[in-house]
């Protein structure tokens, strides 16, 4: 008897919104991306503006079909930027979602963007 194996391109989604605004010095939210496909996709997060290493103090935490991006410190202004989660399983093209994080800092005198 033949076995039929169904392959599906990796699909991906974020649990949160695609843009997050936070204050410097606050605890960071955890960002998770979820995937589905056959065979099960491999997930990865890339740092700010694609391909750049994740900031210090940021960990990747794998869970069943998701990969969480977690800060183990408070947010810094330099954490602002784009973070990209990619799902790939070798069937079709990889799928990616981009999250924009804007960390605002308190201005005491004159602030320049």
**φ and ψ of 77, to 5 deg:** -55, -35
Domains held by the chain: number = 1
Residue 112, in any domain of the structure: no
For the residues 87-102, what does the mean pLDDT come to?
A: 86
Q: Average pLDDT of the chain? A: 81
pTM score, two decimals?
A: 0.77
Domain hosting 86: range is 8-104
Residue pointed to by tokens 């919104």: 17
User: Is 110 part of a structural domain of the chain?
Assistant: no
CATH number at residue 77: 2.60.40.10
- Residue 1 resides in a domain: no
Is residue 51 a part of any domain in this protein? Answer: yes
Residue 24 pLDDT: 93
Q: Which is it for strands 42-46 and 81-88: parallel, antiparallel or unpaired?
A: antiparallel
Residue 93 lies in a domain: yes
| pLDDT tens figures, 71-91 | 899 999 989 888 888 888 888
Judge contact between 36 and 54, C-beta under 8 A: no
């Amino acid at each position: 008897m033949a076995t039929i194996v169904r392959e599906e391109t990796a699909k991906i989604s974020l649990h949160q919104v695609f843009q997050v605004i936070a204050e410097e010095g606050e605890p960071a939210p955890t960002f998770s991306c979820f995937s589905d496909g056959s065979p099960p996709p491999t997930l990865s997060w890339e740092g700010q503006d694609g391909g750049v290493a994740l900031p210090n103090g940021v960990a990747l935490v794998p869970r069943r079909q998701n990969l969480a991006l977690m800060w183990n410190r408070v947010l810094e202004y330099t954490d602002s930027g784009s973070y990209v989660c990619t799902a790939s399983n070798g069937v079709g093209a990889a799928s990616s979602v981009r999250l924009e994080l804007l960390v605002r800092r308190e201005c005491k005198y004159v602030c320049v963007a």
